Amino acid sequence: MHTTIRHHFPALLTQMRAIDEVREKASDYELAAHLTACLALFLFKLGSRNQWNQKRKKQQFQDNYKKLFGFAMPHGDSVNAVISRLNEDQVERLKQDMVRALLNRKVFRSERYRDQWYRIAIDGSGVSSFDHHHCEQCLHKTSKKGKVTYSHQVLDARLVTPNGFSVSVATVWIENPEGGDYDKQDCERKAFQRLATRLHQAFPRLPILILADGLYPYEGFFQTCQTAGWAFSATFKDGNLPTIWQEINALKPLQSGQQQTHTRYQPGKAGATTIRSDYEWVTDLDYQGYTLHWVSCCETTTRQKKQPDGTVIEEKKQAYFVHITNLPVTQANVVATSQTARLRWKIENEGFNTLKNGGYGMEHKWARKSYRALKNYYQFMQMAHLIHQLMLKRQTFVATYLTGTNHPTVKALWDDLVGAMQWRKVKRKLLRLIDETPIQWRLVT
C-alpha cells in the first residue's frame, strides 16, 4: 500500500495541502493530517470512526501509522469536524487529480476501446437510507401502503476496463425534487446533465465512450454526448424509442447478411460448458438527425452435468443483450462492440457492490447530521478504492498473495494488514529502501 501511493501519487500530500483551510481554531494537526486520516480510515477498511478511535488507542498502531503517513493519528471526531466543513468541489478535484496522474502515466492506455476511447460507465446507487426526514436534500418515496422512505442517491461516472478497474472520475448527488416523490427517470436524467458538465470540465480532451443503461436512449442524452464529442453505447430496451424499433424491424430484411455466430467450449471436471453467441446488427438508423447503430447478442449457455449414476444431463440458459451506439458497427468489430457495451456492469459489480460489501461501508451512516460530510466521506472512499485496485491488480501482488491452492481471500489479507499494524513494528529502514528502489508496475490483464 505504501509503495502504491508513493509510486502513483507522489504529489498527493502536496495536493492535500493546497485545499483551503476550514478550521476556525488553531490545531496541533495540519489540515493534511485530517485528510490523510480520512483516507486511511478507508484504506484500512475500519468500518466506522469508532473503530478508528479504538486503533488509535494502540500505541504500536499509532507508531506504525506515523511512519507510513508522516502524521500522528487525530481523533475521529476531529476528523469528522474537518470533513463536515471541507469544500466538496475541492475534495472531488483531489480525487480527479489522482485519476489524472494515472492517465498522464498512461496506466489505462492499453485498455482503450478501438485504441482510442476510454470507457466511462454511468449509473446511480443508494448511499444511505432513513426512516425519518434526514435533511432538506433527502429524496423520499411513498409506498402503496403509505410508508415514506428517505434516502441519499449518487450518480457516478466510473472509468471501467476489461481487466477489472472501476474508478470514480466524476460524481453528482441526486437531490430532493421540488414538488414530488423521487422518480428515477426524471431525477437521474436531470442529474446526468450536471454530471456530464462536470465530467467534461474535468477531462475536456479525454476521448470518452459513455456506457449507459436503458434509462438513457433519449434525444437529450444523444445531444449531450454529441456536444461533448463523446461516443456512447446504451442498453436498448423494448420500450425505448418506438420509431427506432420500427426502423430496425424494417431494415433487418434488407441487412440480413449482418449476422455472426461464435461458439466457445469450456471443459470442466463436472462437465463441459458451451457458450453460443448469435450477433445481429442494423446500421445507419436515423433519429432526429442522429445516426445510430443497433447491436444484439443472444447468448445460449449449455452446461453438461454428470449425475451420480454416470449419466449426463444438459442445462440451457439464454440471455439477450441489446445496445444502441453512435460508433460504426462492422463485421470485424461487432463482437467487441457488444462486449464493450456489457462492461457497463463493472460499475455495479467492481464498483458499487465492492464499496457496499467489500469493507468500505458505502451504506454506513458516516455522517448522521452533515450532508456535506456524507459527500466528502464518499469521495475519500473512492480514493482509497482506487489505491486498492492498483494494489490488487499488480502482477507481483497477485503472484505473491492471490495464486495457488487455498490462497487467502482479500478480506483475510486486510485482517492481517490491520493486525500487523497493531502488533508488528514497521521499520523505517525498509520504508526508505522501498522509496529509493526503482520499480516497474505491471498490471494483470
Model confidence pLDDT, tens digit, residues 298-334:
999 998 887 777 787 888 999 999 999 999 999 999 9
Residue 94 grid coordinates: 483531489
| Averaged confidence pLDDT in the chain | 92
For range 3-21, the mean pLDDT? 95
Residue 7 confidence (pLDDT) above 70: yes
- Helix, strand or coil for residue 162? coil
Predicted local distance difference test score (pLDDT) of residue 266: 85
pLDDT of residue 100: 97
Residue-level pLDDT at 16: 97
Amino acid 405: pLDDT = 86
Would you state the pLDDT for residue 149? 82
Using the predicted structure, report yes or no on whether residue 293 has a pLDDT greater than 70: yes
Compute the distance between CA of residue 188 and CA of residue 199 in angstroms, rounded to an integer. 16
DSSP H or E run through 373: helix 371-392
**Joined grid coordinates for residue 132:** 425519518
pLDDT at residue 232 in the model: 98
**Across residues 122-140, what is the average pLDDT?**
81
Of 127-131, 141-145, 173-177, 410-414, which one has max mean pLDDT? 410-414
Q: What is the DSSP letter of 368?
A: S
pLDDT digits (tens, 9 = 90+) for 238-281: 989 999 999 999 999 999 889 999 999 988 777 789 999 999 99
**Per-residue pLDDT at 175:** 81
Report, as an integer, the average pLDDT of 335-340: 96
Considering only the C-alpha atoms of the chain, give the largest distance between any 2 of them, rounded to a whole number of Å: 77
Predicted model pTM? 0.93
d(CA 348, CA 341): 14
Give the per-residue pLDDT at 185: 66
Q: In the predicted model, is pLDDT for residue 342 greater than 90?
A: yes
Distance CA 72, CA 297 (A): 55
